[in-house]
Amino acid sequence: MHEIAIVNHLFEIINEVSKKENLSKISQVNFLLGEMQQIVPEIFRFAFESAAENTIAQNAILNIEIVSIKGQCNSCNKICDVKKVFYCSFCGSKDLNIINGNELIIKSIEGE
Ligand SMILES: [Zn+2]
């Protein structure tokens, strides 16, 4: 499952950060999730909580911030929200650069 691979990667980063910052307990993980990733937040959260058991991130709060898909139009240069159909909502051009929505990033990790 996609979500579990991401959670595994997430924990590699958590371990790295906690070593670097000398953290013994992770209290909060703030995560940016782009809509393009088609990840179900509930499954992701569940995978995170399962993986966190008996680690320093046990009971850590996972904040998932959903980033909507935005594109910049190559014809009119405007930035628009992209839903299911990929075209500019201003001029109808299909020549869009996706600038947001691909995120799969840890924004910050809090702990002590
Ligand atoms: Zn346009």
Tell me the pLDDT tens digit for each residue of 1-29: 588 889 999 999 999 999 999 999 999 99
**Mean pLDDT, residues 65-72 taken together:** 94
| pLDDT value of position 1 | 58
Please state which CATH number belongs to domain 2-67+101-111.
Answer: 3.30.2320.50
Distance (Å) from CA 68 to ligand 1 centroid:
18
Distance (Å) from CA 49 to ligand 1 centroid:
42
| pLDDT value of position 24 | 95
Distance (Å) from CA 104 to ligand 1 centroid:
27
Each domain of the chain, given as residue ranges in start order, spans 2-67+101-111
3-state secondary structure the chain: CHHHHHHHHHHHHHHHHHHHCCCCCEEEEEEEEEHHHCCCHHHHHHHHHHHHCCCCCCCCEEEEEEECCEEEECCCCCEEECCCCCCCCCCCCCCEEEEECCCEEEEEEEEC
The pTM for the full model equals 0.83
